[in-house]
Chain A
Amino acid sequence: DTAVSQTPKYLVTQMGNDKSIKCEQNLGHDTMYWYKQDSKKFLKIMFSYNNKELIINETVPNRFSPKSPDKAHLNLHINSLELGDSAVYFCASSHLAQETQYFGPGTRLLVL
Chain B
Amino acid sequence: AQSVTQLDSHVSVSEGTPVLLRCNYSSSYSPSLFWYVQHPNKGLQLLLKYTSAATLVKGINGFEAEFKKSETSFHLTKPSAHMSDAAEYFCVVSDRNNQGGKLIFGQGTELSVKP
Taking beta carbons and an 8 Å cutoff, which residues of A are in contact with B?
A: 4, 31, 33, 40-45, 48, 50, 55-56, 90, 92, 94, 96, 99-106, 108
B105 to chain A: which residues have CB within 8 Å?
42-44
Contact of A50 among B42, B44, B100 (CB under 8 A): B100
* A55/B42 in contact, CB under 8 A: no
> Residues of B at under 8 Å CB distance from A?
32, 34, 36, 38, 41-46, 49, 51, 88, 90, 94, 96, 99-103, 105, 107-108
Q: How far is the CB of B87 from chain A (nearest CB, A)?
A: 11
Q: Which residue among B32, B43, B94, B107 has the maximum number of chain A CB atoms within 10 Å of its CB?
A: B43
Q: Kindly list chain B residues whose C-beta atoms are within 8 Å of the C-beta of A101.
A: 46, 101, 103
A15 to B49, CA, bound (A): 40
Q: Tell me the bound Cα distance from A100 to B34 in angstroms.
A: 8
Chain A interface, >50% SS class: strand
Counting residue pairs across A and B whose Cβ atoms lie within 8 Å, the total is 57
Cβ A48 vs Cβ B44 within 8 A: no
A99 touches B32 (CB 8 A): yes
CB-CB under 8 A from A41, the residues of chain B are 38, 88, 107-108
Contacts of B42 in A (CB 8 A): 105-106
Name B44's closest neighbour in chain A (CB-CB). Answer: A103
Known: A42-B107, A99-B94. A33 touches B101 (CB 8 A): yes
- Residue pair A100, B46 in contact (C-beta under 8 Å): yes
CB pair A45 B103 closer than 8 Å = yes
